[in-house]
Amino acid sequence: MTDWISGTFTSDVGWEHLERLVDIGDRMAGGAGEREGLTVTRDALDRLGARNAHIDDFEIQGWTRSSSGVDTPDESVDTTALPRSPAGTATGRLVDCGDGLPDDFDADLDGAVVVVSSTVPDHYDRFIHRREKYYRALEAGAAAFIFRNHTPGCLAPTGSVGTDDSPLGPIPAVGIGKEAGIRLCRRHAGDEVTVRVDCATPEATSGVVRADIGPDTDRAVYLTSHVDAHDIAEGAVDNAAGTATVLEVVRALRARDAPLDRRVRVVCFGAEEVGLRGSKREADLVDPDTVQAVVNCDGVCRGRTLQFYTHGFDALAAAVNDVADRFGHPVSVRPTPHPHSDHWPFVVRGVPGLLVSSEGDERGRGWGHTRADTLDKLERRTLREGAILLAPLVAALAGADRIDRRSPDAIAADLERGSLAEGMRVTGDWPFGSGGSF
């Protein structure tokens, strides 16, 4: 009964796929690298014996990087443009808005070039997403946005702006390394500076990989990840590791002696990094009642302890804790909502959804969304251990009775309690009532 465990401890299926994805390099949504990543993932699922492995294409607003920078009275500073920033230039006085907390924008920012940190203080009650800071700067009248990394190493961060209704953000946006950003603000706060972004915005095609394992039941557990990554790095943690883990879980599930009680649908999304385009489309296409639960792998392998956001679904938390107890392995279970990955378009429809990530050494993305998101940060054993926990979890969810749904009112109340609702309204991501994205 444990042969599948020893097999997973020695399997290289997931790790070899991880290497294959990072060796592609640029997997930006809608680009040739993302297409190659989708194709090799489809082919890998087919080799593992999954049924009907295929790619379903869809159109997106493309975005292709050229050059960007900040020009001051006496120097030019290289930056990394944020995807979905518009091309163009904007000139204004440089204003350091610190951590980018809501109160930090209560200043005269009309026509300003605003600089904010990529993190928030440890004592603050919630993490503030990049896009919320961008749109708060816009509402305050800023002409341009500079996103300063809080992690040392001269690493300019990336991450998209824009909304579903307006995929290209309204003001130029760039990322800058911690050290360069501190120097820029020290020397030029109050000076007139120019932010410039050169990029192309062609129409493009992304896709979703789908395949099935287990019996052909009407309801399915969705095992998901995203294949795309930002173009400035290999995207090893975010999210080649998630897709590699999905493949290792598929291998383990097929190797287990006990058959699955319900179909497991494997879905590897494109265009996650530009507004969850793949998963939003997928959630629109399926009947929520046909989805037993979503197990979304995004940010796994960063640390050895898996972290599960359960979104208030008690049955999911119980299933995670049961597997952890059976294997005597620590996990971190968080009942709070996490509205920033591919499980979310399903969760807001009441579908039970898990975000599976891992505990890191610090708050925030760490190496993620920088050119340092590379394979050398990861370990083979971590991927294998994660798959050993996730395979029985997916099997348990497949064998469970129908898991109770949650109402939109209950999910909205969780967002309000977690102080997330205000920021989601600022970015146009509030999923309930007018102005929502879903």
Condensed to tens digits (0 to 9), the pLDDT of residues 297-352 reads 999 999 999 999 999 999 999 999 999 999 999 999 999 999 999 999 999 999 99
Q: Report how far residue 46's alpha carbon sits from residue 52's, in angstroms, rounded to the nearest whole number.
A: 8
Terminal alpha carbon distance of the chain: 43
User: By percentage, how much of the chain surpasses pLDDT 90?
Assistant: 92
| Confidence check: pLDDT of 41 > 70 | yes
Q: Report how far residue 114's alpha carbon sits from residue 190's, in angstroms, rounded to the nearest whole number.
A: 11
Residue 363 pLDDT level (bands cut at 50, 70, 90) = low
Q: How far is CA 161 from the centre of its chain?
A: 13
| Confidence check: pLDDT of 399 > 70 | yes
Tell me: the pLDDT tens digits for 130-188?
A: 999 999 999 999 999 999 999 999 999 999 999 999 999 999 999 999 999 999 999 99
Residue 12 in tokens? 């290289």
Asked whether 381 and 18 are in contact (CB, 8 A), the reply is: no
Q: What is the pLDDT of residue 435?
A: 42
Angle at the Cα of 339 from the Cα atoms of 86 and 60, rounded to 5 degrees: 40
Long-range contacts of 427-433 (CB under 8 A, 24+ apart): 427/129, 427/131, 427/132, 427/135, 427/163, 428/135, 428/163, 428/164, 428/165, 429/131, 429/163, 429/339, 431/348, 432/348, 432/408
Angle at the Cα of 213 from the Cα atoms of 209 and 219, rounded to 5 degrees: 90
Q: What is the pLDDT of residue 125?
A: 85
Asked whether 274 and 267 are in contact (CB, 8 A), the reply is: no
Tell me: the pLDDT tens digits for 72-89?
A: 999 999 999 999 999 999
Residue 260 pLDDT level (bands cut at 50, 70, 90) = very high
Q: If you average pLDDT over every residue of the chain, what do you get?
A: 95
Strands, sheet with 306-309, edge to edge from the N-terminal-most edge strand: 51-61, 203-213, 263-269, 220-226, 291-297, 353-358, 306-309, 331-334
Q: Which of 163, 170, 125, 128 is CA-nearest to residue 145?
A: 170
Give the length of the chain: 438
Q: Report how far residue 366's alpha carbon sits from residue 120's, in angstroms, rounded to the nearest whole number.
A: 13
Q: Report how far residue 183's alpha carbon sits from residue 188's, in angstroms, rounded to the nearest whole number.
A: 8
| Confidence check: pLDDT of 241 > 60 | yes
Residues facing 61 on adjacent strands: 203
Residue 367 pLDDT level (bands cut at 50, 70, 90) = confident
Asked whether 208 and 281 are in contact (CB, 8 A), the reply is: yes
SS3 365: coil
Q: What is the pLDDT of residue 366?
A: 75
Residue with token string 């999954």: 50
| Confidence check: pLDDT of 361 > 70 | no
Residue 298 in tokens? 């995004």
What is this structure's pTM?
A: 0.96
| Confidence check: pLDDT of 420 > 70 | yes
| Confidence check: pLDDT of 203 > 80 | yes
